[in-house]
Amino acid sequence: MARGLLLLTLSVLALALVAERRAAFRARFNASREVKPRELPHCQLIKGIETGSEDLEILPHGLAFLSCGLKYPGIKSFDPHKPGEILLMDLNEENPEPMVLPIHGDGLDKTSLNPHGISTFTDEDNTVYLFVVNHPQLSTTVELFKFQEEERSLLYLKTIRHELLPNVNDLVAVGREHFYATNDHYFSDPSLRAWEMYLGLKWSNVVYYSPRDVRQVASGFDFANGINISPDGKYLYVAELLGHKIHIFERLADGSLKALKALTFDTLVDNLSVDPTTGDVWVGCHPNGMKIFFYDPEDPPPSEPGRRDSWRDPIMICSVLDFVGHPPPSS
């Protein structure tokens, strides 16, 4: 009798734990949130990148780099057999069209290019360097290129690997070979990554990289995602996707970070873009994350771009987009 009662009690506790974890999982993914699509007449789908762009970086004079063709565990790929590409688009044109940037130089396997987050750094001599998070065979490297503007091409310079950069999602360059990067998971094994996400283990982090110094500078994130920097270089912004937060840090002289505050939203925050003139932070958001990781072509995920006028301003302006039946996830 006592043994049966014990088994019943343990079974009830196990079921309660499973139910609690499931409810917490759905809450982190905003699984119950529905949005009403809004068609914006001044927005248009740009031909040539129908399979999606994961990240973009805009130079001050209007040239934009786009990271395309990402294959990421758990995310729908619309062209899984095609290598990834870096596209260039001139936003000064009335009807800009993307072009594939050819890559020159030896040492990079272009057939396994799987680009994720990107960032640029402009040197004192106006040389533009492009940093690309790459996942060849689902591993992680950072590829460094020199942008050859006249030829409209990229010159491959080097590949960066480090044990503290196992699952890089995004990065922001702060020097010719210096950057901050987000690791969106602690584990690299697909099964362990799935459990890490399901259990809500906040083991994601931010790493500072330089040729002589590589170290963790922030941790405790539930899927650290987009990262960017203020125009004056004093503040670093980190998007915590499943925590629904943007964290603001002060950069210290040695590259360390001092936490200032965290802003919470009713949406999953992805990549961050900073206006170089005003400092406004633009955010690509997912109102319902379940539709990203469990893709249904009959009910595709909506997009929720937002703008924050400054990190001191508590107001966020968001618009839900529906591009005539093709509502894209907003990375």
Pick out the residues of the known binding site: 54-55, 118, 169-170, 225, 270-271
**DSSP symbol at 110:** G
Per annotation, catalytic residue among 42, 61, 81, 116:
116
The answer to whether the CB of 154 falls within 8 A of the CB of 148 is yes
**178 given a catalytic annotation:** no
- Residue with token string 């500078």: 217
- The count of other CB atoms within 10 Å of the CB of residue 167 is 21
User: Residue 19: helix, strand or coil by DSSP?
Assistant: helix
Q: Annotated binding site for Ca(2+), which residues?
A: 54-55, 118, 169-170, 225, 270-271
- Look at the alpha carbons of 89, 90, 96, 100 in this order and tell me if their dihedral is positive or negative: negative
- The count of other CB atoms within 10 Å of the CB of residue 41 is 5
CA dihedral angle for residue 219, residue 271, residue 289, residue 135, rounded to 10 degrees? -80
- Strands in 245-251's sheet, in edge-to-edge order, are 224-229, 235-240, 245-251, 257-264
Q: What is the DSSP string of 173-224?
A: EEETTEEEEEES-S--SHHHHHHHHHHT---EEEEEEETTEEEEEEEEESSE
How far apart (Å, rounded) are the C-alpha atoms in residues 154 and 321? Answer: 33
The answer to whether the CB of 88 falls within 8 A of the CB of 99 is yes
Q: Which residues are catalytic?
A: 116
